[in-house]
A = this chain, B = another copy of it.
Amino acid sequence: MEIPKGTVVTERVTSRALEGNLPGDPHVRDLHVYLPPGYDEGSERYPVAWCLSGFTGRGRMLLHDNPWSPGIADRMDALLADGRVKPMILALPDCFTHVGGSQYINSPAVGRYEDHLIEELVPLVDARFRTLAAPEHRGVIGKSSGGYGALIQGMRHPEIFGALVCHSGDLLFEYCYKRDFGPALRAIRAGGGLAPWLATFRASPQKRHADIAALNIIAMAAAYSPNVGAPSPFCDLPFDLETGAIDENVWKRWLQWDPLYLVDRYAGSLRKLRLLFLDCGREDEFYLELGARCFVKRLRELGIPHEYEEFGDGHMNISYRMDVSLSKLSRALAR
């Protein structure tokens, strides 16, 4: 006995926002859209959940499965069949870049990914699909850098998103990024500096764990401390490449992108959300449960409604947590 299956359609999007981006990343992108079972037969309108993938990922990877863990489309089908989720459209954008990601924000060193998402993709999906095109029926969800993106865009765009889910999102930069400054410094120095290191990284078929850690720091610099006058990758590192000494000015620019820094300013947006759900593993390799706790503590102090869960796992392979979050999200967004 088969369960009803939704459909995944792929929209090829030509982006004005990304056109001419400084690093020369593609401005034509595939947007994958999951339509719930019965979409084609009916005329109903649906809420939309924007699903943001993590660092080094893009929307398409959310569809990957393994025999023990369904992709996001199959997961939705199963949760719908179980009645644990209400029908929604899922939109899976591609915001990958030459440094592994964009953090879903605008940066002159990387590209205008916030604009791409908010001004281009959201209207496009509302135009092409039968969506409930209002913030109370539009949510954003993601994990890791995608959880960061969900949090940032949920805070900045209450006119767009009425619910947000942040799984193991980048928070408390002091912990989650700083611990990789040393390893990144060593890798980049060993590679002869930023640009040569990046060139070697790109040319190598195997991307090793230590390289991804270094790339992550570079990507964050490109996102949070861009410097268009600098050579590629057009950013200032928050530390001296010889001594490791923290460049406090650059670091301050990073901290201004820490959701913990932004929470007070955007308290009004957060208060409007129908759902503000965060979770994190208690053994998160980047200690993101600490950032989540800090954030949640501030939410409590500000009297902002939210839900928070911790679970007994780390940072990787935790898409099973979407069983919880998609359920909450679909209920929050339902008509």
A residues whose Cβ falls under 8 Å from a Cβ of B: 56-58, 60-61, 64-69, 96, 100, 172, 174-175, 178-179, 181-182, 185-186, 202, 205-207, 242-246, 282-283, 287, 290-291, 293-294, 297, 313, 317-318, 320
21 A-B residue pairs with CB within 8 Å: A56-B68, A57-B66, A61-B66, A67-B96, A67-B100, A68-B202, A174-B178, A174-B246, A175-B181, A175-B182, A178-B179, A182-B287, A205-B313, A205-B318, A206-B313, A242-B293, A243-B290, A243-B293, A244-B290, A244-B294, A245-B294
Q: How far is the CB of A206 from chain B (nearest CB, A)?
A: 5
**Residues in B whose Cβ lies below 8 Å from that of A96:** 67
Interface pair B206/A290, CB less than 8 Å apart: no
Please list the 3 inter-chain residue pairs (A to B) with the smallest Cβ-Cβ separation, ordered nearest first. Answer: A244-B290, A182-B287, A205-B320
Complexed CA–CA distance, A56 and B68 (Å): 9
**Residues in B whose Cβ lies below 8 Å from that of A179:** 178-179, 182
Interface pair B181/A297, CB less than 8 Å apart: no
**Residues in B whose Cβ lies below 8 Å from that of A291:** 244
Complexed CA–CA distance, A182 and B290 (Å): 8
Q: How far is the CB of A282 from chain B (nearest CB, A)?
A: 8
**Residues in B whose Cβ lies below 8 Å from that of A294:** 243-245
Complexed CA–CA distance, A205 and B323 (Å): 11
**Residues in B whose Cβ lies below 8 Å from that of A69:** 205
Complexed CA–CA distance, A291 and B297 (Å): 34
Interface pair B61/A206, CB less than 8 Å apart: no
Interface pair B243/A297, CB less than 8 Å apart: yes
**Residues in B whose Cβ lies below 8 Å from that of A290:** 182, 185, 243-245
Contact with A206, one of B64, B186, B245, B317 (Cβ below 8 angstroms)? B317
Q: How far is the CB of A301 from chain B (nearest CB, A)?
A: 12
Apart from A179-B182, A182-B287, what 16 extra A-B contacts exist at CB < 8 Å? A56-B67, A58-B67, A60-B65, A61-B64, A64-B64, A68-B207, A172-B244, A172-B245, A175-B181, A175-B182, A182-B290, A186-B283, A243-B290, A243-B293, A244-B291, A245-B294
Q: How far is the CB of A165 from chain B (nearest CB, A)?
A: 17
**Residues in B whose Cβ lies below 8 Å from that of A100:** 67
Complexed CA–CA distance, A182 and B294 (Å): 13
Complexed CA–CA distance, A7 and B248 (Å): 52
Which of A65, A68, A291 has the largest count of B CB atoms less than 10 A from its CB?
Answer: A68
**Residues in B whose Cβ lies below 8 Å from that of A205:** 69, 313, 318, 320
Interface pair B67/A175, CB less than 8 Å apart: no
Q: How far is the CB of A94 from chain B (nearest CB, A)?
A: 9
Complexed CA–CA distance, A56 and B60 (Å): 21
Chain B, Cβ-Cβ closest to A182: B287
Chain B, Cβ-Cβ closest to A246: B174
Complexed CA–CA distance, A174 and B245 (Å): 9
Chain B, Cβ-Cβ closest to A260: B245
Chain B, Cβ-Cβ closest to A297: B243
Which of A175, A282, A313, A320 has the largest count of B CB atoms less than 10 A from its CB?
Answer: A175
Q: How far is the CB of A304 from chain B (nearest CB, A)?
A: 16
Contact with A293, one of B65, B244, B318 (Cβ below 8 angstroms)? B244
Q: How far is the CB of A24 from chain B (nearest CB, A)?
A: 15
